[in-house]
Amino acid sequence: MSKTILLVDDEPHVLEVLRVTLEDLGFKLLEAQDGPGALALAKSESPDLVVLDVMLPSMSGLEVCRTLKQSTDTVGTPVIMLTARSGEDDAQAGYDAGADRYLTKPFSPLTLLTEVVKLLDMELA
């Protein structure tokens, strides 16, 4: 059964690069450009993993992450946070919000892919 991954970023080009990074591996890819959209998709589609930008308009990625981790449906869903903020406090805030991994922008697509595979407990083909 193919795994579903939810990609959340307000930058269309970043979304596109995430999509290209994870394409051809049999994932079903979903996209959202803001927090409320991400939460709605997480609820309806129950993704196996979420790649989440921190700096989102109106509702921050940290808040989205907290909400996901507090809901019984999504509490076990791994979340990889992506952020342009690189301070230690920022990383801590990410982990405090329940993130499983914390990658800073600019990120390496290969690193992201490796983390996704690890978190989904898959073997790279």
Which parts of this chain interact with another protein (CB under 8 A)? Answer: 10-14, 16-17, 20-21, 33-34, 55, 57-58, 84-85, 105-110
| Minimum distance, C-beta of residue 3 to another protein, in the bound complex (Å) | 20
| Minimum distance, C-beta of residue 18 to another protein, in the bound complex (Å) | 8
> 60 vs 74, which CB is nearer to another protein?
60
| Minimum distance, C-beta of residue 55 to another protein, in the bound complex (Å) | 6
> 30 vs 74, which CB is nearer to another protein?
30
> 13 vs 121, which CB is nearer to another protein?
13
> 71 vs 108, which CB is nearer to another protein?
108
CA dihedral 23, 24, 27, 33 (to 10 degrees): 10
| Minimum distance, C-beta of residue 70 to another protein, in the bound complex (Å) | 25
**CA-to-CA distance for 86 and 34, rounded, in angstroms?**
21
* Helix (H), strand (E), coil (C) string for 5-67: EEEECCCHHHHHHHHHHHCCCCCEEEEECCHHHHHHHHHHHCCCEEEEECCCCCCCHHHHHHH
Compute CA distances 117 → 13, 50, 80, whole Å: 23, 12, 12
